[in-house]
Amino acid sequence: MELSGFYKLSVKERVAKIKEIAGLSEEEAKVLMDSGALKLEIADRMVENVIGAGHLPIGIATNFKINGREVLVPMQIEEPSVIAAASHAAKLCLPDGFTADADEPIMIGQVQFIRAKNAKASVKKIEKEKKKIIAAASEFAKQIEKYGGGVKDVYAKAFKTERGDMVVVYFDIDVRDAMGANTINTILEGVSPTLAEYIDGECRVRILSNLAVKRKAYAKAVWKKEAIGEDAVEGVLDAYEFAKADVFRTATHNKGAMNGIDAVALATGQDWRAVEAGAHAYASMDGYKSLTHYEKNENGDLVGRIELPLAVGTVGGAINTSPTAKLCLKILNVKSAKELAMVMACVGLANNFAALRALSTEGIQRGHMKLHARNLAVIAGAKTPEEIDAVARALVEKKEYSVDAAKKILEGMRR
């Protein structure tokens, strides 16, 4: 639908227009105007055509000890059981908790030249003139250089494509505590005229890569057999083999890790689409593979590991404008993007372990539906916290998890 000049309207005027077109009630329009902690005038400067702000719960995952430090982990997610699962998984590996590490924040930028004449010779020229190119690129990296970052390397590759020979120039750029997209793209656009002096072709795409293979995070935990039981150890190992063997299972297996990683990303104002893209592209590099690894040590305990690219930041982007993102980072008490990536990797491993443990023992739905019961109570029409809790308890006791069952319970309570 064409709405000429919609972007020129104030938020209030946009809501009025949408109310008229969509037939919203006065009460429904008020819901859009309730933006919570994010003021509408700020939201209106973050994205286009703003008519409100969405709301997802922020919860705290407890029991996390990472590299000897106790951490409270904010997670923003709509799905019940994810935060509880992460907290319980973290508790089960205490007192040692998780160990974690992360690479230096090196991101990859790419500049594409199409219809390149003598592409292989151009690749050699880029290698020969590397110092000059880095110097030219560094002119556009002054801001990040102040913090110890900057352009670290440049190299090129030649490709034969259906549209002719192509040369792609790669830049390794240390972006410090930023996610780095804007920094990298500025550098690439600035240096492309210099590259054109060495490549006989037409410059096209200049963009970062979300496949941040030089910026990975790693985490490890040991769940002792005495804490989780030998059956759970064997069950997780069997579930892990399933994920290794069948790509249809691998996708959902990796989603189990991303449940936790994305929730922390949302809470802290990260580009969670970039995080997802990088994780799944990394898993696909040598045939789609598991982001986690499990084995049994000599004591019969379960050892879990995770490894994936995590391009996250503690400065820039929505972090500067979202009040809740700032608070969540403060709660985490991380001092750098590397520390944030380590926390996210640990949460991903915790959620992945919790899912495998549940799937291979009592089943995923048992705990999930208990927590989902409160949502069903709200959908059924429960209004007060007391009503919601009472309906949820009744659903759990009856083991009936449906809106119809919740409605019957609610009707009985109100008679």
Q: Which residues are catalytic?
A: 79, 255, 271, 368
DSSP states of 22-77: HT--HHHHHHHH--TTS-HHHHHHHSSS--------EEEEEEEEETTEEEEEEEE-
Asked if 238 and 294 touch (Cβ cutoff 8 Å), the reply is no
Please give the Cα distance from 404 to 401 (Å, whole number).
9
HSE value, Cβ hemisphere, 13 Å, CA-based, for 208: 25
**Burial status of residue 209 (CB atoms within 10 A of its CB: 0-12, 13-18, 19 or more):** buried
- Which CA distances in Å does 385 have to 31, 284, 305, 396? 20, 45, 40, 17
Structure tokens at 104: 């230096």
In terms of phi and psi (left: phi > 0; alpha: psi -120 to 50; beta: otherwise), the region of 68 is: left
Peptide bond into 95 cis (omega under 30): yes
Angle at 362 between CA 225 and CA 252, to 5 degrees: 95
**In angstroms, rounded to a whole number, what is the distance separating the alpha carbons of residues 94 and 42?**
42
Extended beta strands in 90-236, E state: 98-102, 106-114, 150-161, 164-174, 202-208, 216-223
In Å, the largest CA–CA distance within the chain is 84
Whole-number Å distance between alpha carbons of 283 and 291:
6
317 Cβ contact partners less than 8 Å away, ≥ 6 residues apart: 178, 179, 269, 270, 271
